[in-house]
Amino acid sequence: MDIEIRSITYEERPDWVRAAEASFSAVAKDDEIEAMLPAIEIDRSFAAVDGGRIVATSAAITTRMVVPGGARIPTAAVTMVGVQPTHRRRGINTRMMATLLDQAAERGEPIGNVSYHTRILARLGCVELVKTKQVRGAVEHYYRAVVRPVFSDQDWAELPKSIRKSLAGAVLAEIADDVGAAATEGGFDRQDVHLARTPVTLDEKGWQELNDLLQEVGDKALDIQAESAARLQADGAKDSEAAVLVMMLFEPPSSEGKTKGRQAKGKASSRGRKKG
């Protein structure tokens, strides 16, 4: 069945919010949904619909951005981008983003608004250009990050909740891909790998202390990587060991939420076996 991508209706707003939350393995509470409804621009909120069910979401918030010189230009702030686990890797997100960008261009919100920020990041050495591609009369530029993105606690707190969920969802998806592939390919076969899950009970001060400690571990890991690179260069060695360090500190789900998550995984697994 073809997946339809379209803007949502006024009545679909609650289901659309639930679908967006589900893309990040979250369950939206009724009061949270109610609080979000007034901010939804239905003509800028899109859904991918499969058999009457919303399986992916994306949206743009109409805003303006101040550029050097003080001018305020119209800007489409992209948010609520997510695809249900059952429909990932089908190109749905690519189609939805193309729809958002086409609409932004029609409204006079040029893609140059994005490239402006990218040029700043490139000048600061945070990203580098890896390739270009001619698309519909324009040139798309593809960059990759060369500096680890870091948000201070204050910066993270000031981000809208939907953006924090989008960033967390992207990182968790990448972690899941890495862990799944590594388990299949023997990435955990070494005797000196580290794998731990440690539930703890903390007060606010303890949470902050543990958070600070993890930040220090991340910084120290980068220092160790730099020292390793220096030794490898000095010794002329070529047998470097790639590794992935994952650290998390988060509030655990409720028993009910955990049960629902396991049930959803079981249903997805069952559908996969039937298709096979």
Q: Which residues of 74-87 are buried (b: 16+ CB within 10 A; e: fewer)?
A: ebbbbbbbbbbeeb
E strands within 175-257? none
Domain identity same for 140 and 205: no
| Residue 202, phi then psi, degrees to nearest 5 | -130, 155
Q: Are residues 159 and 216 in the same domain?
A: yes
pLDDT tens for 57-106 read: 998 877 766 555 566 667 777 788 888 888 888 888 888 888 888 888 78
DSSP, collapsed to helix, strand or coil, labels residue 176 as helix
Q: Which of 182, 189, 202 is nearest to 246 (CA)?
A: 182
pTM score: 0.45
Query: 145 with 205, same domain?
Result: no
For the stretch 50-70, pLDDT in tens is 999 999 999 887 776 655 556
* Residues 116 and 161 occupy one common structural domain: no
Query: pLDDT tens-digit profile of 211-264?
Result: 999 988 988 887 887 777 777 766 665 566 778 899 999 998 887 877 776 666
Same domain, 10 and 104: yes
Give the structural domain span for 122.
111-149
121 and 163 in a common domain:
no
User: Token digits for 143?
Assistant: 């960059």
Task: Provide the pLDDT for residue 138.
Answer: 47
Same domain, 259 and 269: yes
Looking at the structure, tell me whether residues 263 and 167 fall in a common domain: yes
Domain count along the chain: 3
Each residue of 162-172: pLDDT tens digit?
A: 667 766 777 78
